[in-house]
A and B are shown apart, each in its own frame.
Chain A
């Protein structure tokens, strides 16, 4: 089976600074992959490159065996949903309208949402735990509620690939746990799910695979227990953790 993403000998620079260098990486459908690493290590760069928003200067990203740059913008948008880290909205629209934006890649000019679109939206709202928020104005939601609406927006595309840049960053533990459960469910339903995150405990508990990035290079790749070894934790994160990361056993009360 062709992997969802294949990267080979990729180099990505911002002016002179090498932001990301990947020799070989493939990501499969149905897998929940976490990208972790210190600030500025290149997590967002990798996510944006997978999303087709950033083209590497050297090498190319293959999506289902085809070069990502060969997809039209619209076709790519239908197959890859991307949730940026930025949770700000330019205008205080009604939250439900924000979720509807997820259907943008499917809408033809001058047409309304179809029943299919509406069903996708309703499903995304419930999976993101945003039920009851859609009638409210976005700027009157709390940051956790905003994040849920934006997650629903990404889910509403029903893409086969879901890329998330720090979903649920700076949110309370309960919401972070809920997001992880939602992402796990996406991966279980066959979606190639990749997220960048900082919460090592949750990553170690939920992710099927962890990529550790440091200074633009992938320094560890594997199951959480192997990738987040005491050695890596000490070298990359500067943490003394002789027993590794112990996944928390909290559940939603």
Chain B
């Protein structure tokens, strides 16, 4: 294993961040040590599932971002930028709006995953493989705009202000109210999605020499597309279903880690999952610290505020390298 040190460092970082996240923000440490039942429940039933879920969602977004970037051979690809997250959001909003989510806990993730898959397919249809940075971003804007328009439509016709605010708050993305139920739903779906995306790693490397070159090396581009869309839809759809729309993790993390794996798409996947997990857990802990007792700061808002300047920087950099 070439990247044992990088992966070890990232795992250590995840553990440190997780421990920090468990115990910051006025955790009744003394009560826990004294054997207080309430403190134990806060730790096990509230804090721990939140940290685990934050890690899962971050891993899903980070790894999907890395896989999409490898496939499109473009550092600007990210589930949020290319509209897959928004499409998953549309699926989830449909579940909320039509009340399916009240019927079954699975309705929301299933619809979110379906939305993500449809968004991914629409993106492939519009942008095509090996799309230039401009085409990719424009196609993503188009797919995202369509999804957001439909979400706005649902909000427009929402029967009452409570339904409206439910959708609006949900869209801002948050890990509040996380419980082991969300973990139970998210974990298998995200794990499946990540496994599917991991299975593309060697083919992504081959794509480095271009599509014709990859095909001549025996890569079946259609099969690769299907695996990638299915994997990203599962991982991102499930992540959006349990945590709402959280952007830019998949953009920032692979970009920061790429030099450490000598720019190899396959070696970027696992570190991006770990890095995404660590980043999102940190961001979530930060939102809790910043919010304090006032109006809570939403996680999706936080990652967007931090991620957008980074996005600007990337566009400028990419624009300078290639026409």
Contacts and interface: CB of A to CB of B under 8 A. Distances in A.
Interface residues of A, number: 35
A76 B219 CA distance: 11
A107 B206 CA distance: 12
Contacts of A97: 205, 262, 264
A150 B218 contact: no
Interface in B206-224: 206-210, 212-213, 215-220
Nearest to B212: A84
Nearest to A150: B209
A241 interface: no
Interface in A11-59: 48, 51-53
Most central of B199, B213, B217, B219 by chain A CB within 10 Å? B217
Interface string B233-263: 0000000000000000000000000100011
A193 to B, nearest CB: 15
A76 B218 contact: yes
Contact of A104 (B206, B262, B265): B206
A94 B216 contact: no
B219 A101 contact: no
Interface stretch (A85-93, A173-181, A182-190): A85-93
Contacts of B209: 84, 89-90, 98, 101, 150, 153
Interface in A84-117: 84, 86, 88-94, 97-98, 101-102, 104-105, 107, 109
B202 interface: yes
B260 to A, nearest CB: 13
B259 to A, nearest CB: 10
Contact of A93 (B202, B215, B220, B263): B263
Interface in A112-144: 137
B73 interface: yes
A202 interface: no
Nearest to B322: A88
B202 A104 contact: yes
A73 B199 CA distance: 17
A88 B220 contact: no
Contacts of A94: 262
A157 B220 CA distance: 18
B210 A53 contact: no
A159 to B, nearest CB: 10
A223 interface: no
Contacts of B218: 72-78, 104-105
Contact of B217 (A72, A77, A90, A137): A77
Given A51-B216, A77-B217, A77-B218, A90 B202 contact: no
Contacts, number: 77
Contacts of A150: 209
Given A91-B263, A92-B263, A97-B264, A82 B212 contact: yes
A200 to B, nearest CB: 26
A107 B202 contact: yes
B289 to A, nearest CB: 37
B34 to A, nearest CB: 49
Nearest to A106: B218
Contacts of B213: 82, 84, 86
B219 A84 contact: no
B210 A84 contact: yes
B230 to A, nearest CB: 17
B264 A91 contact: yes
B264 to A, nearest CB: 6
Contacts of B258: 91
A152 interface: no
B68 to A, nearest CB: 13
B227 to A, nearest CB: 12
A80 interface: yes
Contacts of A51: 216
Given A76-B218, A80-B216, A105-B218, A90 B208 contact: yes
B215 A53 contact: yes
Nearest to A82: B216
A91 B265 contact: yes
Interface string A154-176: 00010000000000000000000
A74 B216 CA distance: 9
A166 B48 CA distance: 59
Nearest to B262: A94
Contacts of B205: 97, 101, 104
Interface string B23-40: 000000000000000000
Contacts of A86: 210, 212-213
Nearest to B201: A109
A84 B213 CA distance: 6
Contacts of B210: 84, 86, 88, 90
Interface of A: 48, 51-53, 72-78, 80-82, 84, 86, 88-94, 97-98, 101-102, 104-105, 107, 109, 137, 150, 153, 157
8 contacts: A53-B215, A72-B218, A75-B218, A89-B209, A91-B208, A91-B263, A101-B217, A104-B218
Given A97-B264, A98-B208, 7 more contacts: A73-B218, A78-B218, A81-B216, A82-B212, A84-B216, A89-B209, A109-B202
